[in-house]
């Protein structure tokens, strides 16, 4: 940990320990004794997200840049970050797909238009901007409709005069030039971001009986002297069409448990023989970053046609040259869509999802929620987004904190 923070400075800082303590207090990671010597990767995903924020704050920046800072954070973490940003007195630019989070502290929006390739600046919060953009689009569409009518009139007149010959051809030429001038006045209207198509994750056919039986799990207790793993007895049985929500704060061991179940290493978990597991990891490490998108999708496809593969990919906005790009060249959001496309092609009997909304465009989230709601196999879900979870049928909750 100390080495991690020391890399934030070009020169050696002799006051690094008290600075670390101060910044950990800000990001709500206080109370972790001996934390200065702890290995960074031993922290959970949510705790690492807080450490990244801490590494920015310890430099006392004039400009704070935050890229999806709420990813991996639990409810308490998001509330703590929101309070901090409300009180932050310097400049901050944030990228986030969480509109409620943005609206709680922002004063303006920079909109990157994918069609015009322009950056537009608006005053107000995200919802204010939606209203302003909608009003502008309506105005531009009305103007374009009027121009289109006038352009057609000039072209019709030009055709009439051209057919009369003689001096009328000069008039016809002027009419065409006028029509061309008017066409240049037509405003490029924004093409709204596309949303993925509704989809279904088929469950593994012919599965009967119990798919997963969980008799115990390890939770991580943070006490003086460090982290202590403690085993707790549970009794969870998942069959087809059973959906389990795994809950608890950052650092308690949710992702660790999912990882162990997915790889058959959880001592208290028994997955039935022959069950195919579909595993969505929040860091996308189930994907081979050196594969092309096509190779990644082909690797999980069983007895399906190339046409079907491309149809599934297109539903997740993966088309054309994107199919031949390597996974490592994709944005985080695109990696997430590839991961979902793989699940559709895999047809798992047990679906394990660890924070599946991280990096995903908010337009896609209701579509994903509906697909998970209808999934007919056994499912374990971890998510800190209550609005997303509320759209999914949950049959049982295992709260590791309780």
Strands (E), 147-305: 212-223, 226-238, 243-247, 269-271, 277-280
In a domain, 190, yes or no: no
The pairing of strands 350-354 and 378-382 is: parallel
Cα–Cα distance for residue pair 275/212, rounded to 1 Å: 9
Whether 188 shows a pLDDT value over 90: the answer reads: no
Residues 245, 372, single domain; the answer is: yes
CATH number at residue 53: 3.40.50.300
Low-confidence winner among 70-74, 106-110, 305-309, 319-323 (lowest mean pLDDT): 70-74
Mean predicted confidence (pLDDT) in 249-275: 91
Phi, psi (rounded to 5 degrees) for 43: -85, 155
In a domain, 121, yes or no: no
Residues 372, 282, single domain; the answer is: yes
pTM of the model: 0.73
| Final residue before a domain boundary, out of 114, 144, 168 | 114
| Cα 212-216-222 angle, rounded to 5 deg | 130
Residues 51, 151, single domain; the answer is: no
In a domain, 238, yes or no: yes
Over residues 88-143, the pLDDT tens digits come to 899 999 998 787 888 888 889 998 876 678 898 988 888 888 788 778 778 877 88
Cα–Cα distance for residue pair 97/312, rounded to 1 Å: 24
Whether 49 shows a pLDDT value over 90: the answer reads: no
Highest mean pLDDT, choosing among 110-124, 152-166, 334-348: 334-348
Residues 271, 133, single domain; the answer is: no
Residues 260, 363, single domain; the answer is: yes
In a domain, 122, yes or no: no
Count of domains observed in the chain: 3
Strand partners, 91: 63
Confidence (pLDDT) at 259: 93
Whether 319 shows a pLDDT value over 60: the answer reads: yes
In a domain, 199, yes or no: no
Is residue 69 within 8 A of residue 81, CB to CB? The reply is yes
Over residues 202-224, the pLDDT tens digits come to 999 989 999 999 999 988 877 66
Whether 191 shows a pLDDT value over 60: the answer reads: no
Domain that holds residue 335: 212-399
Higher pLDDT, 258 or 169: 258
Residues 260, 394, single domain; the answer is: yes
Provide the pLDDT confidence category of residue 318 given band limits of 50, 70 and 90. very high
In a domain, 153, yes or no: yes
Higher pLDDT, 356 or 49: 356
Residues 79, 142, single domain; the answer is: no
Provide the pLDDT confidence category of residue 354 given band limits of 50, 70 and 90. very high
Long-range contacts of 158-164 (CB under 8 A, 24+ apart): none
Percent of the chain with pLDDT over 90: 43
């Amino acid at each position: 940990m100390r080495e991690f923070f020391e890399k934030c400075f070009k020169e050696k800082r002799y006051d690094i320990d008290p600075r670390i303590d101060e910044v950990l207090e800000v990001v709500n990671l206080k109370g972790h004794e001996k934390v200065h010597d702890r290995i960074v990767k031993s922290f959970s995903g949510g705790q690492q997200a807080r450490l990244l924020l801490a590494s920015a704050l310890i430099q006392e920046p004039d400009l704070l840049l935050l890229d999806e800072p709420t990813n991996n954070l639990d409810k308490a973490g998001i509330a703590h970050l929101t309070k901090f940003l409300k009180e932050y007195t310097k400049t901050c630019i944030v990228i986030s797909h969480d509109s409620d989070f943005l609206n709680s502290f922002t004063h303006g929006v920079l909109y990157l238009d994918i069609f015009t390739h322009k950056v537009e600046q608006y005053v107000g919060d995200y919802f204010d901007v939606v209203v302003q953009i909608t009003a502008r689009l309506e105005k531009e569409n009305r103007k374009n409709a009027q121009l289109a009518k006038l352009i057609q009139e000039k072209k019709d007149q030009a055709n009439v005069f051209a057919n009369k010959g003689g001096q009328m051809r000069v008039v016809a030429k002027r009419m065409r030039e006028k029509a061309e001038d008017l066409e240049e006045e037509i405003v490029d209207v924004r093409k709204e971001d596309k949303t993925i198509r509704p989809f279904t994750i088929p469950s593994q056919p012919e599965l009967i009986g119990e798919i997963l039986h969980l008799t115990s799990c390890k939770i991580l207790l943070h006490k003086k002297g460090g982290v202590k793993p403690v085993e707790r007895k549970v009794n969870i049985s998942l069959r087809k069409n059973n959906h389990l929500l795994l809950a608890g704060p950052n650092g308690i061991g949710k992702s660790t448990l999912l990882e162990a179940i997915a790889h058959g290493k959880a001592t208290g978990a028994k997955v039935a023989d022959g069950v195919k597991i579909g595993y969505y990891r929040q860091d996308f490490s189930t994907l081979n970053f050196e594969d092309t998108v096509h190779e990644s999708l082909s690797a999980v496809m069983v007895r399906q046609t190339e046409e079907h593969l491309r149809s599934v990919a297109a539903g997740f906005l993966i088309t054309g040259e994107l199919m031949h790009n390597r996974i490592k060249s994709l944005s985080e959001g695109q990696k997430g869509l590839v991961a979902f496309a793989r699940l559709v092609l895999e047809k798992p009997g047990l679906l394990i999802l660890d924070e599946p909304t991280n990096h995903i465009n908010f337009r896609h989230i209701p579509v994903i929620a509906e697909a998970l709601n209808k999934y007919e196999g056994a499912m374990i879900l971890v998510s800190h987004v209550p609005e997303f979870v509320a759209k999914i049928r949950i049959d049982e909750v295992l709260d590791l904190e309780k």
